[in-house]
């Protein structure tokens, strides 16, 4: 079983990391569309065009039998287009995050932190509403740059998280929400999970969308993957593809994957 993992950049490597831990028996092909990032500021039509060409590469060239869309923007704007473009099952991080919130929340009130683009799409609010839940979404635009600067354990990051979470809780209070669940709806945020957990009130459970995506992929694949849970991490065959500088991918990516990235192949998907 080969699982394709797609993101516009490096962030999706946190999802791959969780997949390797939970489904070590599978093989993986990871594509970061780094030449065309960031997707966040682009139109729905452009994101759909980029995402479907990336999905097709993983399925048609690399023979992925299952596709994980680890990119929030692509999941929010292009999931239907991707499902139409490829003949394998596709799971996106927005729906897995909303599923996990549904399983976690007793109050049916959910908090979501994400990039500005994801918040502006209101994809999580819509997915929560479809599950009978209310959601408050907050953009935290400094968190991605802080993670990319490597300041994951840094007093400045601690302070920025404290400010953002404070504003989020204020928003929730003003809207009379009694939230018991916070979804980390950006693939960079799992690197800040402990800091975020320290900043939220005790009754709020933090949901790492990378982790819950891996769990839901595992549940969907169960029988198909032999030895899952028995094989050790490192046995899986993992290939990495990027559409821009492979050196930068390797350097930055290692931090997200939590282990060294051996080789990255450059792919040209056109404009």
Residue 269 C-beta: closest distance to its own copies, Å: 14
- C-alpha closest to that of 204 among 183, 181, 175, 185: 181
Radius of gyration of the CA atoms of the chain, in A: 18
Residue 66 C-beta: closest distance to its own copies, Å: 30
Q: Are 237 and 29 in contact (CB under 8 A)?
A: no
What is the dihedral sign for C-alpha 224, 127, 189, 247? positive
Residue 35 C-beta: closest distance to its own copies, Å: 8
Q: Is 140 annotated in the active site?
A: no
Residue 153 C-beta: closest distance to its own copies, Å: 14
Residue 120 C-beta: closest distance to its own copies, Å: 10
| Interface residue list for its own copies (CB under 8 A) | 41, 141-142, 145-146, 148-149, 151, 155-156, 159-160, 163, 244, 271
- C-alpha closest to that of 47 among 109, 121, 152, 100: 121
Given the complex with its own copies, which of 145 and 201 has the nearer CB atom?
145
Given the complex with its own copies, which of 28 and 39 has the nearer CB atom?
39
> What does each C-alpha distance from 257 to 11, 168, 260 come to in angstroms?
9, 29, 8
Of 29, 68, 71, 79, the active-site residue reads 71
Given the complex with its own copies, which of 48 and 236 has the nearer CB atom?
48
Given the complex with its own copies, which of 140 and 225 has the nearer CB atom?
140
- C-alpha closest to that of 123 among 167, 183, 82, 174: 183
Of 74, 146, 165, 186, the active-site residue reads 186
Given the complex with its own copies, which of 131 and 248 has the nearer CB atom?
248
Given the complex with its own copies, which of 155 and 223 has the nearer CB atom?
155
Residue 187 C-beta: closest distance to its own copies, Å: 17
Q: Which two tokens stand for residue 118?
A: 């994801």
Q: Is 71 annotated in the active site?
A: yes
- C-alpha closest to that of 144 among 219, 71, 218, 244: 71
Q: Which residues are catalytic, by number?
A: 71, 186
């Amino acid at each position: 079983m080969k699982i394709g993992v797609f993101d516009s950049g490096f962030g999706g490597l946190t999802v791959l990391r969780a997949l390797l831990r939970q489904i070590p028996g599978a093989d993986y092909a990871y594509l970061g569309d780094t030449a065309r990032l960031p997707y966040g500021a682009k139109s729905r039509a452009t994101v759909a065009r980029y995402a479907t060409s990336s999905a097709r590469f993983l399925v048609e060239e690399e023979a992925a039998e299952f596709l994980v869309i680890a990119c929030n923007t692509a999941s929010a704007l292009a999931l239907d287009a991707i499902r139409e473009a490829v003949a394998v099952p596709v799971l996106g991080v927005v729906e897995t995050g909303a599923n996990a919130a549904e399983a976690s929340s007793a109050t049916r009130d959910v908090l979501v932190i994400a990039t500005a683009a994801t918040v502006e799409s209101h994809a999580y609010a819509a997915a929560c509403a479809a599950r009978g839940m209310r959601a408050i979404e907050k953009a935290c635009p400094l968190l991605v740059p802080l993670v990319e600067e490597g300041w994951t354990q840094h007093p400045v990051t601690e302070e920025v998280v404290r400010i953002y979470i404070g504003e989020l809780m204020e928003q929730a209070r003003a809207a009379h929400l009694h939230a018991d669940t916070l979804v980390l709806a950006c693939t960079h945020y799992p690197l800040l999970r402990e800091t975020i957990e320290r900043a939220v009130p005790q009754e709020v459970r933090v949901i790492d969308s990378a982790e819950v995506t891996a769990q839901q992929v595992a549940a969907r694949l169960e029988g198909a993957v032999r030895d899952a849970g028995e094989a050790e991490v490192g046995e899986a065959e993992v290939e990495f593809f990027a559409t821009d500088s492979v050196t930068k991918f390797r350097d930055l990516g290692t931090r997200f994957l939590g282990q060294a990235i051996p080789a990255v192949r450059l792919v040209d998907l056109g404009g």
